[in-house]
Amino acid sequence: MTLRRKWEETFFRVLSAAVALIVVLVLAHIIYTIISKGFSALSWEILSQEPKGGFYMGGGGGILNAIAGSFYLAIGASLLAFVVSLPVALFINIYLIRYSRLLIGIRFFLDVLWGIPSIVYGAFAFTIMIYFGLRNSLGAGIVTVGALIAPIMIRAMDEVLKTIPIGLQEASYALGSTKTETAYKIFFKRALPGFATAVLLAFGRGIGDAASVLFTAGYTDHVPRNLSDPTATLPLSIYFQLGSPIEAVQQRAYAAAIILTIIVLVISITARVLNKGKNKKKFKTFIASKRKKAKA
Amino acid sequence: MTKRNLIDNISSKWMIVCLSFFLLLPVAIATGLVLKSEDLLSAHSLSDLIFSSDWSPSEGQFGFWPFILSSLWVTIIALIISMPLCLLAAIYLSQFAPKWVLEFMRPVIDILAGIPSVVYGVWGVLVVVPFVGETVAPFFNNESLGYSILAGALVLSVMSIPYILNMLLEVFRQVPIQLGEASLALGATKWETIKHVYVRKGATGILSAYGLGFSKALGETIAVMMVIGNVVQEPASVFDAGYPLPALIANNYGEMMSIPSYDSALMFGSLLLFVIILVINIVFRYLIYKSEEK
């Protein structure tokens, strides 16, 4: 009996370690594949030029249209999402802080919203566009991706705001501030580093999403000049070019994939570095500086 | 003073407007999709649409069964692969591994969860498709191009690993440490403690993590679409090509305006996806909240 228990213990210890290792190796293999395939395909021409004639038959040019388009789209969507997410996150943490059941309900609801797949957002946005007779455009893409990433942003901001002690809020009211002043002058400043993380996470999600922009942003060989132009994006550029039978075109898909991967990796690593331990430190220095001012 | 109050008043109204927008968003999506698919629903019965396999849009036949079947096959197989892997990896990382391994892995998993699905798709085309076509299929005496249900399921299972693993680590973290210590003090081995205390205590959480992973995988579009072959048929084996629902919607939006009721059919597809995923999400999120409340 004891021997059997010992064997079982050892067996599962080794098995679970092996599985963890396999998981890590598979995920590492993905990064390795993208980098090794993409690195040789990268060139200055690909980064800096729009597609030229016969591009999709292997002609010259690059994917600047998709790189610039993706940045325009993701930056626009993040800004838009920020403008609507910030009031919601502040609202639930300041106005609704006393209504814990409602608060739980809203958080629950936002988590559920997060689960809706992007293809549904894309399809829904497309029906609206048809209804109003709108074409594929950068603007439509921004609105769709903005709506898609906003729940993520709200919940991430909410997690930061949740940690602010209620005493800070009470102190602010005691000094005669209105709720708005408390929200934007106290809470906003206090949570700023955390907000940067929230925005970056949402940006990373926005720049990598393909299914929602397929219907709404369209695709074009040019860098968009205004909101009503259609725009190319990196995920779609990868998808379309990888489907080509021509080797040179596939190479450019690999190049686009490594660019997208690097962008997303840089963003999520920055987000995590920003987030790490900064909140506490900031609050302490904030309090200390207030005390100093009070003494002087 | 009045100016401050005015600002306060306007700002809080704006906050409520923003919140209402998000509260109404799913309602708007559901309404929009229902209105668009009404065309189709008035011409065919619901069970006809779902269980018929006759898909010929130009003749007005819209049977969604091949797509639903493909979606179910690919998602269920993906989950079958990733469920034990995730559970064992989570057990190792949270119970057996030295602390620094977990500290190191947590951000790595987070970052991997953020990698765009199209990148997983590229990996699938480069690695998984040839692997299935040249190694796995011949091994089972099967002819396959590699673009198959199995390839889709493999890519999907890898994609869902960071997502599910993250939630499982959270589940194990929430089990009170005293429970584990009590079990060890009674002479149970570490593995017995995990089996009888951690897994049992976290059962609801584990189930929810799998459920949410399922709904996430079901809605996944581009990565699966790149490796699954996109052939309209009822897949008979895992080496056949499939055509899941999200791929159907994504592939045909361009031509959907030219064939009557085709757009309506695609919106009905989106509606199906939306309703199924919404229900799964609500159920398992609710389970999570319930278990956290205790």
Amino acid identity of B247? Answer: A
* Topology given in CATH for the domain delimited by B66-293: MetI-like fold (1.10.3720)
Beta bridge partners of B56: B61
For A170-192, write each residue's pLDDT tens digit: 888 898 888 888 888 888 888 88
Measured in Å, how far apart are chain A's first and last C-alpha atoms?
74
- Residue A138's contacts (CB-CB under 8 Å, 6 or more residues apart) are A69, A72, A73, A76, A217, A224, A226, A227, A228, A229, A230, A231
Measured CA to CA, the distance from residue A135 to residue A126 in angstroms comes to: 9
Q: What is the pLDDT of residue A77?
A: 95
For B119-167, write each residue's pLDDT tens digit: 999 999 999 999 988 888 888 877 778 888 999 999 999 999 999 999 9
% of chain B beyond a pLDDT of 70: 98
Q: What is the dihedral of CA B141, B142, B147, B152, to 10 degrees?
A: -70
Beta bridge partners of B242: B229
Q: Which of A9, A130, A150 sits opposite B22 (nearest CB)?
A: A150
Amino acid identity of A86? Answer: L
pLDDT, average across residues B72-90: 94
User: Is A12 within the bounds of a domain?
Assistant: no
- DSSP states of B209-256: HHHHHHHHHHH--HHHHHHSB---S---STTS-B--HHHHHHHHTTTT
Global ipTM: 0.89
Interface touch A269/B111, C-beta < 8 Å:
yes
Neighbour-count burial of A73, counting CB atoms closer than 10 A to its CB (0-12 exposed, 13-18 middle, 19+ buried):
buried
Interface touch B158/A260, C-beta < 8 Å:
no
pLDDT reading at A277 higher than 60: no
Residue A54 burial (CB count, 10 A): 10
Interface touch B85/A117, C-beta < 8 Å:
no
Q: What is the pLDDT of residue B155?
A: 94
Measured CA to CA, the distance from residue B170 to residue B154 in angstroms comes to: 25
Instruction: Give the mean pLDDT of chain A.
Output: 86
**Range in A132-146, A272-286, B51-65, B94-108 the model is least confident about:** A272-286
User: Is A21 within the bounds of a domain?
Assistant: no
Q: Which of B25, B112, B221 sits opposite A211 (nearest CB)?
A: B221
Nearest CA in chain B to A95: B12
Residue A224 near residue A231, CB atoms below 8 Å: yes
pLDDT, average across residues A245-262: 89
| Residues, chain A | 296
Q: What is the pLDDT of residue A288?
A: 62
Q: What is the pLDDT of residue A51?
A: 79
Report the gap between the CA of A34 and the closest CA in chain B (Å).
7
Domain that holds residue A105: 44-295
Choosing among A1, A85, A120, which should be mutated to test the B contact, i.e. which has the most B CBs within 10 A? A120
- DSSP states of B80-128: HHHHHHHHHHHHIIIIIS-HHHHHHHHHHHHHHHTS-HHHHHHHIIIII
pLDDT reading at B241 higher than 90: no
User: Is A29 within the bounds of a domain?
Assistant: no
Report the gap between the CA of B90 and the closest CA in chain A (Å).
8
Q: What is the pLDDT of residue B36?
A: 86
Q: What is the sign of the dihedral through the CA atoms of A164, A166, A167 and A168?
A: positive
pLDDT reading at A281 higher than 60: no
Q: What is the pLDDT of residue A131?
A: 84
pLDDT reading at B193 higher than 60: yes
Instruction: Give the mean pLDDT of chain B.
Output: 88
Separation in Å, CA B208 to CA B111, B164, B202, B204: 22, 9, 10, 6
How many domains does chain A fold into? Answer: 1
- Residue A52's contacts (CB-CB under 8 Å, 6 or more residues apart) are A59, A60, A61
- Residue A191's contacts (CB-CB under 8 Å, 6 or more residues apart) are A157, A160, A161, A164, A279
Where residue B110 falls among pLDDT bands split at 50, 70, 90? confident
Amino acid identity of B78? Answer: A
Q: Which of B8, B18, B88 sits opposite A178 (nearest CB)?
A: B8
Choosing among A116, A184, A249, which should be mutated to test the B contact, i.e. which has the most B CBs within 10 A? A116
pLDDT reading at A86 higher than 80: yes
Across the A:B interface, residue pairs with CB atoms under 8 Å apart total: 248
The first and second tokens of residue B255, run together, are 């031509």
Contact list, A29 vs chain B (CB under 8 Å) = 123, 127
Measured CA to CA, the distance from residue A230 to residue A139 in angstroms comes to: 8
User: Is A35 within the bounds of a domain?
Assistant: no
DSSP state of B60: T
Where residue A148 falls among pLDDT bands split at 50, 70, 90? very high
Q: What is the pLDDT of residue A283?
A: 53
pLDDT, average across residues A38-47: 84
Q: What is the CATH number of the domain that holds A187?
A: 1.10.3720.10
Residue A272 near residue B107, CB atoms below 8 Å: yes
Q: Which of A123, A150, A253 sits opposite B270 (nearest CB)?
A: A123
User: Is A252 within the bounds of a domain?
Assistant: yes
Measured CA to CA, the distance from residue A72 to residue A261 in angstroms comes to: 17
Interface touch A87/B19, C-beta < 8 Å:
yes
Measured CA to CA, the distance from residue A246 to residue B1 in angstroms comes to: 70
Report the gap between the CA of B61 and the closest CA in chain A (Å).
21
Interior angle at CA B271, CA A108 and CA A73, nearest 5: 70
User: Is A220 within the bounds of a domain?
Assistant: yes
Where residue B55 falls among pLDDT bands split at 50, 70, 90? confident
Nearest CA in chain A to B126: A33
Which helix (H) or strand (E) segment holds residue B27: the answer is helix B2-43
The first and second tokens of residue B268, run together, are 């009905």
For B167-182, write each residue's pLDDT tens digit: 999 999 888 889 889 9
Residue B136 near residue B123, CB atoms below 8 Å: no
User: Is A194 within the bounds of a domain?
Assistant: yes
Contact list, A244 vs chain B (CB under 8 Å) = none
Interface touch A264/B266, C-beta < 8 Å:
no
pLDDT reading at B87 higher than 90: yes
Residue B288 near residue B168, CB atoms below 8 Å: no
